[in-house]
Amino acid sequence: MAEKPICMSTQVPDDEDTQKEDNIRGLTMLGHFGFDCLPHQLVNKSVQQGFFFNILCVGETGIGKSTLIDTLFNTNLKDKKSSHFYSNVGLKIQTHELQESNVQLKLTVVKTVGYGDQINKESSYHPIVDYIDAQFESYLQEEWKIKRSFADYHDSRVHVCLYFISPTGHSLKPLDLLTMKNIDTKVNIIPLIAKADTISKSDLQKFKCKIMSELVSNGIQIYQFPTDDEADANVNYSMNGLLPFAIVGSTDEVKVGKRMVRGRQYPWGVLQVENENHCDFVKLRDMLLYTNMEDLKEQTHTQHYERYRCCKLQKMGFVDVGPDNQPVSFQEIYEAKRQEFFDQCQREEEELKQKFMQRVKEKETAFKESEKELQDKFEHLKRVQQEETMKLEEERRQLEEEIIDFYKMKAASETLHTLVCTNIKKDKDRKK
Ligand SMILES: Nc1nc2c(ncn2[C@@H]2O[C@H](COP(=O)(O)OP(=O)(O)O)[C@@H](O)[C@H]2O)c(=O)[nH]1
Ligand SMILES: [Mg+2]
Protein backbone atom coordinates (compact mmCIF):
# COMPACT_ATOMS: atom_id res chain seq x y z
CA MET A 1 0.00 0.00 0.00
CA ALA A 2 1.32 3.38 -0.94
CA GLU A 3 1.08 5.71 2.01
CA LYS A 4 1.90 9.05 0.54
CA PRO A 5 1.00 10.62 -2.78
CA ILE A 6 3.44 9.76 -5.53
CA CYS A 7 4.09 11.97 -8.52
CA MET A 8 3.26 9.98 -11.62
CA SER A 9 3.90 11.69 -14.92
CA THR A 10 1.31 9.63 -16.79
CA GLN A 11 0.43 12.56 -19.05
CA VAL A 12 2.51 14.65 -21.34
CA PRO A 13 2.87 17.83 -19.27
CA ASP A 14 1.75 21.04 -20.88
CA ASP A 15 4.05 24.09 -21.03
CA GLU A 16 2.87 25.43 -17.72
CA ASP A 17 3.62 22.11 -16.04
CA THR A 18 7.17 22.01 -17.29
CA GLN A 19 7.83 25.51 -16.12
CA LYS A 20 6.42 24.99 -12.64
CA GLU A 21 7.23 21.61 -11.14
CA ASP A 22 4.68 22.15 -8.33
CA ASN A 23 1.94 21.93 -10.93
CA ILE A 24 2.67 18.23 -11.63
CA ARG A 25 -0.47 16.44 -10.60
CA GLY A 26 0.03 14.01 -7.73
CA LEU A 27 -2.12 10.91 -7.63
CA THR A 28 -2.97 8.95 -4.56
CA MET A 29 -2.43 5.31 -5.33
CA LEU A 30 -5.24 3.04 -4.46
CA GLY A 31 -3.36 -0.24 -4.38
CA HIS A 32 0.04 -1.93 -4.65
CA PHE A 33 1.31 -2.14 -8.22
CA GLY A 34 4.66 -3.74 -7.58
CA PHE A 35 6.87 -1.26 -9.35
CA ASP A 36 8.78 -0.81 -6.12
CA CYS A 37 10.41 -4.08 -7.21
CA LEU A 38 11.76 -2.55 -10.45
CA PRO A 39 15.30 -2.22 -9.03
CA HIS A 40 15.32 -6.00 -8.44
CA GLN A 41 14.92 -6.58 -12.15
CA LEU A 42 18.07 -4.59 -12.76
CA VAL A 43 19.91 -6.45 -10.00
CA ASN A 44 18.87 -9.86 -11.38
CA LYS A 45 19.82 -8.88 -14.91
CA SER A 46 23.20 -7.57 -13.82
CA VAL A 47 23.93 -10.71 -11.79
CA GLN A 48 22.99 -12.88 -14.76
CA GLN A 49 25.18 -10.91 -17.13
CA GLY A 50 28.07 -10.75 -14.69
CA PHE A 51 30.30 -7.79 -14.02
CA PHE A 52 33.53 -6.73 -15.58
CA PHE A 53 36.26 -4.41 -14.40
CA ASN A 54 39.49 -3.34 -16.03
CA ILE A 55 42.46 -2.21 -13.97
CA LEU A 56 45.71 -0.74 -15.24
CA CYS A 57 48.67 -0.96 -12.85
CA VAL A 58 51.49 1.44 -13.64
CA GLY A 59 54.67 1.26 -11.61
CA GLU A 60 58.31 0.31 -11.60
CA THR A 61 59.38 -3.31 -11.78
CA GLY A 62 59.26 -4.96 -8.36
CA ILE A 63 57.20 -2.19 -6.76
CA GLY A 64 54.46 -4.64 -5.72
CA LYS A 65 51.85 -4.52 -8.56
CA SER A 66 51.26 -8.26 -8.81
CA THR A 67 51.24 -8.68 -5.04
CA LEU A 68 48.65 -5.94 -4.61
CA ILE A 69 46.32 -7.42 -7.24
CA ASP A 70 46.58 -10.83 -5.54
CA THR A 71 45.92 -9.21 -2.17
CA LEU A 72 42.94 -7.24 -3.49
CA PHE A 73 41.16 -10.21 -5.04
CA ASN A 74 42.53 -12.83 -2.64
CA THR A 75 43.93 -14.76 -5.56
CA ASN A 76 47.18 -16.19 -6.68
CA LEU A 77 47.33 -15.14 -10.29
CA LYS A 78 50.77 -16.68 -10.60
CA ASP A 79 52.63 -13.74 -12.04
CA LYS A 80 56.29 -14.41 -12.72
CA LYS A 81 58.86 -11.94 -11.39
CA SER A 82 59.69 -9.41 -14.08
CA SER A 83 63.15 -8.71 -15.38
CA HIS A 84 64.73 -5.28 -15.06
CA PHE A 85 66.43 -5.57 -18.45
CA TYR A 86 63.73 -4.74 -20.99
CA SER A 87 64.83 -2.10 -23.47
CA ASN A 88 61.28 -0.73 -23.74
CA VAL A 89 58.20 -0.48 -21.58
CA GLY A 90 55.59 -3.12 -22.37
CA LEU A 91 52.21 -4.15 -21.06
CA LYS A 92 51.07 -7.50 -19.76
CA ILE A 93 47.35 -8.15 -20.09
CA GLN A 94 45.63 -10.87 -18.09
CA THR A 95 41.93 -11.60 -17.87
CA HIS A 96 40.51 -13.64 -15.02
CA GLU A 97 37.02 -14.91 -14.29
CA LEU A 98 36.38 -14.56 -10.55
CA GLN A 99 33.33 -15.66 -8.61
CA GLU A 100 32.10 -14.64 -5.18
CA SER A 101 28.82 -16.29 -4.08
CA ASN A 102 26.70 -16.07 -7.25
CA VAL A 103 28.36 -12.95 -8.64
CA GLN A 104 30.81 -13.33 -11.48
CA LEU A 105 33.49 -10.75 -12.18
CA LYS A 106 35.53 -10.69 -15.34
CA LEU A 107 38.67 -8.91 -14.23
CA THR A 108 41.21 -7.60 -16.69
CA VAL A 109 44.50 -6.55 -15.18
CA VAL A 110 47.02 -4.73 -17.32
CA LYS A 111 50.45 -4.24 -15.77
CA THR A 112 53.43 -2.33 -17.03
CA VAL A 113 56.57 -4.37 -17.69
CA GLY A 114 59.99 -2.77 -17.59
CA TYR A 115 58.59 0.60 -16.47
CA GLY A 116 61.34 2.84 -15.08
CA ASP A 117 64.15 0.48 -16.10
CA GLN A 118 65.45 2.41 -19.12
CA ILE A 119 68.09 5.14 -18.97
CA ASN A 120 66.05 7.41 -21.24
CA LYS A 121 62.52 7.42 -19.86
CA GLU A 122 61.07 10.14 -22.09
CA SER A 123 58.86 7.81 -24.07
CA SER A 124 58.03 5.36 -21.27
CA TYR A 125 54.44 6.59 -21.12
CA HIS A 126 53.77 6.05 -24.85
CA PRO A 127 52.75 2.36 -24.64
CA ILE A 128 50.38 3.22 -21.77
CA VAL A 129 48.69 6.06 -23.68
CA ASP A 130 48.54 3.92 -26.82
CA TYR A 131 46.89 1.06 -24.95
CA ILE A 132 44.25 3.29 -23.34
CA ASP A 133 43.47 4.94 -26.70
CA ALA A 134 43.34 1.59 -28.48
CA GLN A 135 40.63 0.38 -26.10
CA PHE A 136 38.59 3.55 -26.69
CA GLU A 137 39.07 3.14 -30.43
CA SER A 138 37.91 -0.45 -30.32
CA TYR A 139 34.74 0.57 -28.44
CA LEU A 140 34.14 3.44 -30.87
CA GLN A 141 34.47 1.09 -33.84
CA GLU A 142 31.92 -1.21 -32.24
CA GLU A 143 29.55 1.73 -31.77
CA TRP A 144 29.95 2.69 -35.43
CA LYS A 145 29.25 -0.78 -36.76
CA ILE A 146 25.98 -1.31 -38.60
CA LYS A 147 25.49 -4.59 -36.82
CA ARG A 148 26.52 -3.96 -33.25
CA SER A 149 26.92 -6.75 -30.74
CA PHE A 150 27.55 -5.12 -27.38
CA ALA A 151 26.17 -8.22 -25.65
CA ASP A 152 29.19 -10.27 -26.75
CA TYR A 153 31.60 -7.37 -26.94
CA HIS A 154 34.39 -7.38 -24.38
CA ASP A 155 34.63 -3.81 -23.23
CA SER A 156 38.31 -3.41 -22.41
CA ARG A 157 38.32 0.30 -21.67
CA VAL A 158 40.46 0.99 -18.60
CA HIS A 159 38.30 1.90 -15.61
CA VAL A 160 41.05 2.76 -13.19
CA CYS A 161 44.78 3.28 -13.23
CA LEU A 162 46.50 2.36 -9.98
CA TYR A 163 49.65 4.45 -10.11
CA PHE A 164 52.34 3.00 -7.84
CA ILE A 165 54.63 5.64 -6.35
CA SER A 166 58.02 4.60 -4.96
CA PRO A 167 58.17 5.00 -1.17
CA THR A 168 61.13 7.40 -1.37
CA GLY A 169 59.63 9.76 1.23
CA HIS A 170 60.89 12.70 -0.84
CA SER A 171 58.92 13.56 -3.93
CA LEU A 172 57.50 12.23 -7.14
CA LYS A 173 59.98 11.26 -9.82
CA PRO A 174 59.98 13.13 -13.17
CA LEU A 175 58.72 9.92 -14.79
CA ASP A 176 55.72 9.83 -12.43
CA LEU A 177 54.79 13.40 -13.32
CA LEU A 178 55.33 12.89 -17.04
CA THR A 179 53.22 9.74 -17.19
CA MET A 180 50.38 11.02 -15.02
CA LYS A 181 50.30 14.29 -16.95
CA ASN A 182 49.83 12.37 -20.17
CA ILE A 183 47.12 10.01 -18.99
CA ASP A 184 45.09 12.07 -16.54
CA THR A 185 42.50 13.05 -19.17
CA LYS A 186 42.19 9.47 -20.38
CA VAL A 187 41.77 7.42 -17.23
CA ASN A 188 40.80 7.63 -13.55
CA ILE A 189 44.11 7.75 -11.69
CA ILE A 190 44.31 6.57 -8.09
CA PRO A 191 47.83 7.22 -6.79
CA LEU A 192 49.23 4.70 -4.31
CA ILE A 193 52.34 4.84 -2.20
CA ALA A 194 53.68 1.33 -2.71
CA LYS A 195 55.43 -0.73 0.00
CA ALA A 196 54.28 1.79 2.58
CA ASP A 197 55.67 -0.48 5.32
CA THR A 198 59.13 0.84 4.40
CA ILE A 199 58.34 4.38 5.51
CA SER A 200 57.66 5.72 9.01
CA LYS A 201 54.27 7.10 10.03
CA SER A 202 55.36 10.74 10.30
CA ASP A 203 57.37 10.58 7.07
CA LEU A 204 54.38 9.00 5.35
CA GLN A 205 52.12 11.90 6.27
CA LYS A 206 54.63 14.44 5.00
CA PHE A 207 55.17 12.37 1.84
CA LYS A 208 51.42 12.26 1.16
CA CYS A 209 51.16 16.07 1.48
CA LYS A 210 54.22 16.55 -0.75
CA ILE A 211 52.79 14.27 -3.43
CA MET A 212 49.42 16.02 -3.43
CA SER A 213 51.01 19.47 -3.64
CA GLU A 214 53.23 18.30 -6.52
CA LEU A 215 50.22 16.89 -8.35
CA VAL A 216 48.34 20.18 -7.92
CA SER A 217 51.29 22.35 -8.94
CA ASN A 218 51.78 20.24 -12.06
CA GLY A 219 48.08 20.43 -12.94
CA ILE A 220 47.58 16.66 -12.73
CA GLN A 221 44.00 15.56 -12.23
CA ILE A 222 43.56 12.44 -10.15
CA TYR A 223 40.29 10.60 -9.58
CA GLN A 224 38.13 12.10 -6.85
CA PHE A 225 35.69 9.80 -5.08
CA PRO A 226 32.24 11.26 -5.79
CA THR A 227 30.64 13.31 -3.07
CA ASP A 228 27.36 14.10 -4.81
CA ASP A 229 25.58 10.92 -3.69
CA GLU A 230 24.36 11.44 -0.12
CA ALA A 231 24.86 7.79 0.83
CA ASP A 232 28.60 7.79 0.22
CA ALA A 233 29.35 11.52 0.36
CA ASN A 234 30.89 11.54 3.83
CA VAL A 235 33.06 8.47 3.44
CA ASN A 236 34.16 9.49 -0.06
CA TYR A 237 34.94 13.01 1.13
CA SER A 238 37.18 11.73 3.92
CA MET A 239 38.83 9.21 1.56
CA ASN A 240 39.67 11.99 -0.89
CA GLY A 241 41.58 13.60 1.94
CA LEU A 242 43.63 10.43 2.46
CA LEU A 243 44.95 10.17 -1.07
CA PRO A 244 47.43 8.88 -2.09
CA PHE A 245 46.70 5.64 -0.28
CA ALA A 246 49.62 4.05 1.55
CA ILE A 247 49.53 0.43 0.45
CA VAL A 248 51.08 -2.78 1.66
CA GLY A 249 50.45 -6.01 -0.20
CA SER A 250 50.90 -9.59 0.89
CA THR A 251 49.19 -12.89 0.34
CA ASP A 252 51.09 -14.57 3.17
CA GLU A 253 49.10 -15.75 6.18
CA VAL A 254 50.75 -14.78 9.47
CA LYS A 255 49.66 -15.79 12.98
CA VAL A 256 48.61 -12.90 15.22
CA GLY A 257 47.39 -14.12 18.58
CA LYS A 258 45.04 -16.94 17.74
CA ARG A 259 44.10 -15.62 14.31
CA MET A 260 45.70 -16.06 10.93
CA VAL A 261 45.87 -12.75 9.06
CA ARG A 262 47.34 -11.61 5.78
CA GLY A 263 50.44 -9.63 6.53
CA ARG A 264 54.17 -9.28 6.45
CA GLN A 265 56.26 -10.70 9.25
CA TYR A 266 59.16 -8.55 10.46
CA PRO A 267 61.70 -9.19 13.20
CA TRP A 268 59.93 -6.54 15.27
CA GLY A 269 56.34 -7.63 14.60
CA VAL A 270 53.65 -8.21 12.02
CA LEU A 271 52.25 -5.70 9.58
CA GLN A 272 48.62 -6.65 9.01
CA VAL A 273 47.51 -5.75 5.52
CA GLU A 274 43.87 -5.53 6.52
CA ASN A 275 44.46 -3.47 9.65
CA GLU A 276 43.49 0.12 8.96
CA ASN A 277 45.98 1.37 11.53
CA HIS A 278 48.80 -0.27 9.62
CA CYS A 279 48.06 0.83 6.07
CA ASP A 280 45.32 2.05 3.69
CA PHE A 281 44.82 -1.28 1.93
CA VAL A 282 41.26 -1.79 3.24
CA LYS A 283 40.36 1.76 2.30
CA LEU A 284 41.57 1.19 -1.24
CA ARG A 285 39.69 -2.10 -1.52
CA ASP A 286 36.48 -0.54 -0.17
CA MET A 287 36.73 2.46 -2.45
CA LEU A 288 37.62 0.42 -5.50
CA LEU A 289 35.36 -2.57 -5.20
CA TYR A 290 32.54 -1.86 -2.75
CA THR A 291 31.76 1.82 -3.08
CA ASN A 292 32.96 3.29 -6.33
CA MET A 293 33.40 0.61 -8.99
CA GLU A 294 30.28 1.76 -10.80
CA ASP A 295 31.34 5.40 -10.59
CA LEU A 296 34.76 4.53 -12.00
CA LYS A 297 33.06 2.79 -14.91
CA GLU A 298 30.65 5.67 -15.38
CA GLN A 299 33.44 8.26 -15.34
CA THR A 300 35.33 6.18 -17.87
CA HIS A 301 32.34 6.20 -20.18
CA THR A 302 30.99 9.70 -19.66
CA GLN A 303 34.23 11.63 -19.22
CA HIS A 304 37.24 9.89 -20.68
CA TYR A 305 35.66 7.93 -23.52
CA GLU A 306 33.44 10.89 -24.35
CA ARG A 307 36.50 13.14 -24.63
CA TYR A 308 38.18 10.61 -26.93
CA ARG A 309 35.04 10.31 -29.08
CA CYS A 310 34.66 14.12 -29.34
CA CYS A 311 38.31 14.62 -30.35
CA LYS A 312 38.04 11.86 -32.90
CA LEU A 313 34.90 13.33 -34.48
CA GLN A 314 36.35 16.84 -34.44
CA LYS A 315 39.53 15.58 -36.11
CA MET A 316 37.35 14.05 -38.79
CA GLY A 317 35.74 17.45 -39.30
CA PHE A 318 32.39 16.87 -37.60
CA VAL A 319 30.81 19.70 -35.60
CA ASP A 320 27.54 20.14 -33.72
CA VAL A 321 26.90 23.74 -34.88
CA GLY A 322 27.83 25.52 -38.06
CA PRO A 323 29.49 28.95 -38.41
CA ASP A 324 26.04 30.60 -38.11
CA ASN A 325 25.56 28.85 -34.75
CA GLN A 326 22.82 26.71 -36.20
CA PRO A 327 22.78 22.97 -35.45
CA VAL A 328 24.25 20.91 -38.26
CA SER A 329 23.12 17.36 -38.81
CA PHE A 330 25.51 14.43 -39.13
CA GLN A 331 24.16 13.75 -42.61
CA GLU A 332 24.73 17.35 -43.78
CA ILE A 333 28.35 17.21 -42.63
CA TYR A 334 28.79 13.77 -44.14
CA GLU A 335 27.45 14.98 -47.48
CA ALA A 336 29.54 18.17 -47.35
CA LYS A 337 32.63 16.09 -46.54
CA ARG A 338 31.78 13.67 -49.32
CA GLN A 339 31.41 16.55 -51.79
CA GLU A 340 34.65 18.08 -50.53
CA PHE A 341 36.38 14.74 -50.99
CA PHE A 342 34.89 14.33 -54.45
CA ASP A 343 36.00 17.86 -55.45
CA GLN A 344 39.45 17.21 -54.11
CA CYS A 345 39.66 13.95 -56.06
CA GLN A 346 38.60 15.78 -59.19
CA ARG A 347 41.11 18.54 -58.57
CA GLU A 348 43.87 16.01 -58.07
CA GLU A 349 42.77 14.08 -61.16
CA GLU A 350 42.82 17.31 -63.20
CA GLU A 351 46.26 18.18 -61.82
CA LEU A 352 47.51 14.73 -62.71
CA LYS A 353 46.06 15.02 -66.21
CA GLN A 354 47.75 18.41 -66.71
CA LYS A 355 51.04 17.04 -65.47
CA PHE A 356 50.69 14.03 -67.73
CA MET A 357 49.92 16.18 -70.78
CA GLN A 358 52.87 18.42 -69.99
CA ARG A 359 55.15 15.39 -69.73
CA VAL A 360 53.81 14.00 -73.00
CA LYS A 361 54.43 17.33 -74.73
CA GLU A 362 57.94 17.54 -73.35
CA LYS A 363 58.69 14.00 -74.48
CA GLU A 364 57.19 14.66 -77.92
CA THR A 365 59.38 17.75 -78.41
CA ALA A 366 62.42 15.83 -77.23
CA PHE A 367 61.60 12.97 -79.63
CA LYS A 368 61.11 15.38 -82.52
CA GLU A 369 64.42 17.07 -81.82
CA SER A 370 66.31 13.80 -81.67
CA GLU A 371 64.52 12.61 -84.82
CA LYS A 372 65.62 15.76 -86.62
CA GLU A 373 69.16 15.31 -85.37
CA LEU A 374 69.17 11.73 -86.62
CA GLN A 375 67.75 12.80 -89.98
CA ASP A 376 70.47 15.46 -90.40
CA LYS A 377 73.11 12.96 -89.46
CA PHE A 378 71.69 10.49 -91.94
CA GLU A 379 71.67 13.10 -94.74
CA HIS A 380 75.23 14.05 -93.94
CA LEU A 381 76.40 10.44 -93.97
CA LYS A 382 74.52 9.85 -97.23
CA ARG A 383 76.28 12.79 -98.86
CA VAL A 384 79.68 11.62 -97.62
CA GLN A 385 78.95 8.14 -98.89
CA GLN A 386 77.89 9.46 -102.34
CA GLU A 387 81.08 11.50 -102.60
CA GLU A 388 83.14 8.48 -101.61
CA THR A 389 81.36 6.36 -104.26
CA MET A 390 82.00 8.99 -106.94
CA LYS A 391 85.65 9.18 -105.98
CA LEU A 392 85.98 5.41 -106.12
CA GLU A 393 84.20 5.34 -109.52
CA GLU A 394 86.69 7.88 -110.86
CA GLU A 395 89.62 5.88 -109.52
CA ARG A 396 88.19 2.68 -111.03
CA ARG A 397 87.80 4.40 -114.41
CA GLN A 398 91.39 5.67 -114.29
CA LEU A 399 92.63 2.23 -113.37
CA GLU A 400 90.74 0.62 -116.26
CA GLU A 401 92.27 3.17 -118.64
CA GLU A 402 95.70 2.39 -117.25
CA ILE A 403 95.08 -1.38 -117.73
CA ILE A 404 94.04 -0.82 -121.36
CA ASP A 405 97.17 1.28 -121.95
CA PHE A 406 99.21 -1.42 -120.30
CA TYR A 407 97.80 -4.16 -122.55
CA LYS A 408 98.37 -1.95 -125.58
CA MET A 409 101.98 -1.38 -124.60
CA LYS A 410 102.41 -5.08 -123.87
CA ALA A 411 101.08 -6.06 -127.31
CA ALA A 412 103.39 -3.54 -129.00
CA SER A 413 106.39 -4.78 -127.10
CA GLU A 414 105.55 -8.39 -127.99
CA THR A 415 105.29 -7.46 -131.66
CA LEU A 416 108.59 -5.63 -131.44
CA HIS A 417 110.21 -8.54 -129.69
CA THR A 418 109.01 -11.01 -132.36
CA LEU A 419 110.31 -8.70 -135.10
CA VAL A 420 113.71 -8.41 -133.42
CA CYS A 421 113.97 -12.15 -133.00
CA THR A 422 113.06 -12.74 -136.65
CA ASN A 423 115.69 -10.26 -137.82
CA ILE A 424 118.40 -11.83 -135.66
CA LYS A 425 117.60 -15.26 -137.08
CA LYS A 426 117.71 -13.93 -140.65
CA ASP A 427 121.11 -12.36 -139.95
CA LYS A 428 122.47 -15.62 -138.56
CA ASP A 429 121.17 -17.60 -141.57
CA ARG A 430 122.80 -15.13 -143.95
CA LYS A 431 126.17 -15.36 -142.26
CA LYS A 432 126.17 -19.10 -142.62
N1 LIG B 1 57.96 -4.57 1.90
C2 LIG B 1 57.07 -4.82 0.96
N3 LIG B 1 57.36 -5.67 -0.03
C4 LIG B 1 56.41 -5.92 -0.97
C5 LIG B 1 55.16 -5.31 -0.95
N6 LIG B 1 54.45 -5.75 -2.01
C7 LIG B 1 55.23 -6.59 -2.67
N8 LIG B 1 56.42 -6.71 -2.05
C9 LIG B 1 57.54 -7.54 -2.46
O10 LIG B 1 58.18 -6.93 -3.59
C11 LIG B 1 58.64 -7.91 -4.48
C12 LIG B 1 58.09 -7.62 -5.88
O13 LIG B 1 56.69 -7.64 -5.85
P14 LIG B 1 55.83 -7.86 -7.18
O15 LIG B 1 54.41 -7.84 -6.76
O16 LIG B 1 56.31 -9.06 -7.91
O17 LIG B 1 56.21 -6.55 -8.00
P18 LIG B 1 55.82 -6.15 -9.50
O19 LIG B 1 57.03 -6.37 -10.34
O20 LIG B 1 55.49 -4.70 -9.43
O21 LIG B 1 54.66 -6.99 -9.91
C22 LIG B 1 58.17 -9.26 -3.94
O23 LIG B 1 59.24 -9.86 -3.28
C24 LIG B 1 57.08 -8.90 -2.95
O25 LIG B 1 57.00 -9.81 -1.87
C26 LIG B 1 54.88 -4.41 0.13
O27 LIG B 1 53.82 -3.81 0.23
N28 LIG B 1 55.89 -4.20 1.06
MG1 LIG C 1 54.50 -8.35 -11.50
Q: Please work out whether the CB of residue 112 comes within 6 Å of at least one atom of ligand 1.
A: no
Query: What are 403-427's pLDDT values in tens digits?
Result: 999 999 999 999 999 999 999 999 9
Distance 177 CA to ligand 1 centre (A): 22
Q: Which ligand is nearest to the CA of 79?
A: 2
Confidence of residue 375 (pLDDT cuts 50, 70, 90): very high
Ligand 1 atom closest to Cα of 82? 19
Look up the pTM and report it: 0.76
Q: Please work out whether the CB of residue 66 comes within 6 Å of at least one atom of ligand 1.
A: yes
Alpha helices, H only, 254-329: 281-285, 293-299, 306-315
Closest-CA residue, ligand 1 atom 13, reads 64
Confidence of residue 22 (pLDDT cuts 50, 70, 90): low
Is the predicted pLDDT of residue 179 greater than 70, yes or no?
A: yes
Query: What are 93-119's pLDDT values in tens digits?
Result: 999 898 888 899 999 999 999 998 888
Distance, in Å, from the CA atom of 289 to the CA atom of 283, rounded to the nearest integer, reads 10
pLDDT at 231: 80
Q: Please work out whether the CB of residue 251 comes within 6 Å of at least one atom of ligand 1.
A: no
Q: Which ligand is nearest to the CA of 273?
A: 1
Ligand 1 atom closest to Cα of 60? 20
Confidence of residue 11 (pLDDT cuts 50, 70, 90): very low
pLDDT at 74: 84
54: helix, strand or coil: strand
Ligand 1 atom closest to Cα of 279? 27
Query: What are 258-290's pLDDT values in tens digits?
Result: 899 999 999 989 999 999 999 999 999 999 988
Q: Please work out whether the CB of residue 63 comes within 6 Å of at least one atom of ligand 1.
A: yes
Query: What are 82-98's pLDDT values in tens digits?
Result: 778 888 899 999 998 98
How much of the chain exceeds pLDDT 70, in percent? Answer: 94
Closest-CA residue, ligand 1 atom 28, reads 195
Burial 159-183 (b: 16+ CB within 10 A, else e): bbbbbbbbbeeeebeebbbbbbeeb
* Average pLDDT along the chain: 89
Q: Please work out whether the CB of residue 94 comes within 6 Å of at least one atom of ligand 1.
A: no
